[in-house]
């Protein structure tokens, strides 16, 4: 049984090869993203394994169906890049890794807050150049601040608990309130109330038709002036142009993003010798109060191990029984 991988990075190859011993799949690794051109390169494969920026749209799924691919395995949690309806019509199973290490992503969101607040990235560079001045490094205590969390699923709830540990007041918005979090002291409020009261807002909901541009010029106007905004979920949750305008007006005091609307053209490659055409990312990285990381929140040893084992296990189960025991992993 063969799995063909797209958007392969050296660490994917390392982890999947290492853990494949007990599964015995034939593994074929392509570095390029999956699209209508690269889908044609597939031959005699049972499953394709894709990541966050592979576009698995109707045209690609049609080619996969012609090539008799039986499974599309996402080695990530989000699945906004796959047309599930077409996959269902074509009788192709789609699975994902619903929860590999919610701690990895939640801890990265906290790292972004601490970096932006205490400016450790700037202090590191200053001290290396014998600049021991503190001017410009003033931060604030997290203790006692109000943190708003949008989406309290696997990652959001871990993030809430960490922020409670800092002594923050934690507010949350989700379509389903989480009783365990409420018992721990998190208050579930309507979105507008959360926006009005929060000093820091962190996004942990999926990208879908309801959440696309949930942060836009209207919702930004509801926020406290000087709010810190963190997005480790999906770039499309934020209307980037509206956020840039709010940064210029000092409405948003700090922005931390691990995801970006147009990241598929940039992230996961070294473009240091390239002229970047995307003026929006160039504008974002020119702000002193914006921290951009290139979709690395998931990137821990524990998360990669779990992603690998779950993906290989799901493909094996789907190819042998056409079903998955873990209903959260099976999308179609
Ligand atoms: P999850 O499914 O466990 O939780 C998502 C939560 O969002 C759920 O509680 C759901 O009810 C809520 N939600 C859905 N629609 C909503 C809406 N319209 N308004 C408010 N809340 C809504 O997912 P998760 O594992 O916590 O992951 C969250 C997101 O994080 C994923 O969808 C993915 O996009 C992103 N992610 C990013 C990285 C990274 O490396 N940066 C890694 C993993 C996941």
Which pLDDT belongs to residue 190? Answer: 98
**Buried residues in 291-310 as b, exposed as e (16+ CB within 10 A):** bbbebebbbbeebbebbbbb
Is 194's C-beta closer than 6 angstroms to any atom of ligand 1?
Answer: no
- Tell me if 2-100+300-321 shares its fold with 102-292: yes
Which residues, given as ranges, of the chain have pLDDT below 50? none
In 3-state terms the chain splits into helix, strand, coil percentages (rounded to 5) of 40, 15, 45
For this structure, is 96 an active site residue?
no
For this structure, is 263 an active site residue?
yes
Which pLDDT belongs to residue 332? Answer: 92
Identify the residue whose tokens are 């809430």: 160
Protein residue with its CA nearest to atom 14 in ligand 1 = 205
Which pLDDT belongs to residue 158? Answer: 98
Is 198's C-beta closer than 6 angstroms to any atom of ligand 1?
Answer: no
Q: What is the CATH number of domain 2-100+300-321?
A: 3.40.50.720
Distance 329 CA to ligand 1 centre (A): 14
For this structure, is 213 an active site residue?
no
Which pLDDT belongs to residue 221? Answer: 98
CATH superfamily of 102-292: NAD(P)-binding Rossmann-like Domain (3.40.50.720)
List the chain domain ranges: 2-100+300-321, 102-292
- DSSP structural state of residue 245: H
Identify the residue whose tokens are 């597939």: 42
Active-site residue, from 75, 108, 204, 234: 234
Ligand 1 atom closest to Cα of 152?
9
Is 175's C-beta closer than 6 angstroms to any atom of ligand 1?
Answer: yes
Tens-place pLDDT, residues 151-199: 999 999 999 999 999 999 999 999 999 999 999 999 999 999 999 999 9
């Amino acid at each position: 049984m063969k799995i063909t991988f797209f958007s392969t990075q050296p660490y994917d190859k390392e982890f999947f090869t290492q853990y494949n011993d007990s599964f015995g799949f034939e593994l074929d690794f392509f570095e390029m993203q999956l699209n209508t051109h690269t889908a044609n390169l597939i031959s005699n494969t049972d499953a394709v394994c894709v990541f966050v920026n592979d576009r698995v749209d109707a045209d690609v799924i049609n080619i996969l169906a012609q090539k008799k691919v039986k499974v599309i395995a996402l080695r990530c949690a989000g699945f906004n890049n796959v047309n599930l309806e077409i996959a269902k019509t074509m009788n192709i199973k789609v699975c994902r890794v619903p929860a590999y290490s919610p701690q990895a992503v939640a801890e990265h969101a906290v790292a972004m807050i601490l970096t932006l607040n205490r400016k450790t990235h700037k202090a590191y560079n200053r001290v290396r150049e014998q600049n021991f001045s503190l001017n410009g490094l003033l931060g604030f205590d997290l203790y006692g601040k109000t943190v708003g969390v949008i989406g309290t699923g696997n990652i959001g709830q871990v993030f809430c608990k960490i922020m409670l540990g800092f002594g923050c007041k934690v507010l949350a918005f989700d379509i389903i309130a989480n009783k365990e979090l409420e018992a721990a002291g998190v208050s579930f409020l309507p979105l507008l109330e959360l926006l009005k009261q929060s000093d820091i807002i962190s996004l942990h909901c999926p990208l879908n038709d309801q959440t696309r541009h949930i942060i836009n010029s209207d919702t930004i106007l509801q926020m406290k002036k000087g709010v810190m905004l963190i997005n480790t979920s999906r770039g499309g949750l934020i209307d980037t142009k509206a956020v840039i305008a709010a940064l210029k007006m000092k409405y948003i005091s700090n922005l931390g993003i691990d995801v970006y609307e147009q990241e598929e053209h940039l992230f996961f490659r070294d473009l240091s010798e390239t002229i970047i055409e995307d003026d929006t990312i160039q504008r974002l990285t020119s702000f002193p109060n914006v921290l951009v990381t290139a979709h690395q929140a998931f990137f821990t040893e524990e998360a990669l191990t779990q992603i690998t084992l779950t993906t290989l296990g799901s493909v094996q189960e789907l190819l042998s029984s056409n079903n998955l025991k873990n209903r959260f992993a099976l999308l179609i």
